[in-house]
Amino acid sequence: MKAYMYDNLPGDQRLPHDSGRAVDTDELAKLGVLYYHFPDIDGVNKLAADRGYKNRDEIVVSPEKMGDVYEDKVKMFFNEHLHEDEEIRYIRGGQGYFDVRSKDDEWVRVRLEKDDLLILPAGIYHRFTTDESNYVHAMRLFQDEPKWTPLNRCPDLDTNAQRQEYVGQYLA
């Protein structure tokens, strides 16, 4: 895992966009973003049990696996959004970037690769993209039935209960 401030320069979203300003795990935790490294599935299973996660699935994001819809999907994942549920992703192979908003509403880029696990709290604005390899294999964990409902950022979300809870807990 490597985290840093996004450089905001034009160019393909899959490029590193590394500003050279590092962000450590303590700073991520202040945003409610938790990072773990699990070289085997036992650590993931324990974390899932501790946090009450009962379901999981796996997704491969690549042109080979997704075919003609790959580019559209990667662009869709890169739209800034939030979820009303905590989001846990465990990288089984490949690599990709999760971008999350800082307290100053700037992008923090988190590069994940095999054996990295990231927890995003409900209500945090974020986005995802693969890197230049165009391949990531991820396990998604869910507390209940698997669902992935992105709510794209807009002024109406300021009153969303999960967003308000997130702002009160981490950004106030």
87 is in an annotated binding site: yes
83 is in an annotated binding site: yes
Give the three-state DSSP class for 129: strand
Please give the DSSP secondary-structure letter assigned to residue 78.
T
Q: Which residues contact 166 (CB under 8 A, 6 or more apart)?
A: 32, 82, 121, 122, 123, 124
Q: Are residues 28 and 34 in contact, defined by beta-carbon separation less than 8 angstroms?
A: yes
Please give the DSSP secondary-structure letter assigned to residue 55.
E
Q: Residue 33 — φ and ψ, nearest 5°?
A: -90, 120
Give the three-state DSSP class for 121: coil
Dihedral angle sign, alpha carbons of residues 139, 144, 145, 146: negative
17 is in an annotated binding site: no
81 is in an annotated binding site: yes
Give the three-state DSSP class for 151: strand
Residues making up the annotated binding site for Ni(2+) are: 81, 83, 87, 126
Residue ranges for the known binding site for Fe(2+) are 81, 83, 87, 126
Annotated binding site: 81, 83, 87, 126
